[in-house]
């Protein structure tokens, strides 16, 4: 499982002109699911993301996590293109990305686990849909995590 995490101010995901979810600030998480991913990857990644100290404390130093926020908010968007292989030619291959029948249940499990841990509903995109994501990247802080590397 790969995630691109962006600390954000206001963020919103829309599809076909319909607002699907909006947060005032927190984390925007682009989530790519690989065919080898399991619920173990979900648990590890949710734990890593929610405890990552990337928010400013009272002195403005990145010492606080999402869990330290007064109202933790997250917006999670499924994005199979995070598993693009660009080694050959100019057309990316997405062969390592999980098929929808595997990736959608893991995406939903990730969102549910994230909601449980932060104690707040997680905003979601529409799985498999063409979406538009808008956000104010705060910092900017953008971090990539791969559950295979466990770093």
The string over 55-90, giving b where at least 16 C-beta atoms fall within 10 Å of a residue's C-beta and e elsewhere, is beeeeeeeeebbeeeeebbbbbbbbbebbeeeeeee
Query: Nearest-5° angle of CA 31, CA 35, CA 39?
Result: 65
Which member of 6, 55, 73, 80 is catalytic? Answer: 80
80 is catalytic: yes
Closest CA to 49 of 111, 93, 104, 131: 111
Omega before residue 140 within 30° of 0, cis:
yes
Cα 16 from Cα 102, distance rounded (Å): 25
Tokens of residue 130, six digits: 């063409």
79 is catalytic: yes
Which member of 81, 94, 132, 144 is catalytic? Answer: 81
Which member of 6, 55, 79, 110 is catalytic? Answer: 79
Cα 45 from Cα 25, distance rounded (Å): 20
- State the catalytic residues: 79-81
């Amino acid at each position: 499982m790969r995630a691109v995490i962006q600390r954000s101010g206001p963020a919103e995901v829309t599809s076909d002109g319909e607002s699907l979810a909006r947060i005032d600030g927190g984390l925007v998480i682009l989530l790519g699911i690989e065919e080898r991913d399991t619920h173990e990857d979900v648990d590890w990644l949710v734990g890593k993301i929610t405890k990552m100290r990337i928010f400013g404390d009272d002195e403005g130093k990145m010492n606080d996590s999402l869990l330290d926020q007064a109202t933790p908010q997250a917006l999670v968007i499924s994005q199979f293109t995070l598993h693009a292989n660009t080694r050959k030619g100019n057309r990316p291959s997405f062969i390592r990305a999980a098929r929808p029948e595997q990736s959608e249940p893991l995406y939903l499990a990730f969102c549910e686990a994230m909601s449980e841990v932060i104690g707040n509903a997680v905003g979601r995109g529409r799985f498999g849909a063409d979406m538009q994501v808008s956000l104010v990247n705060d910092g900017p802080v953008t971090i990539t995590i791969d559950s295979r590397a466990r770093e």
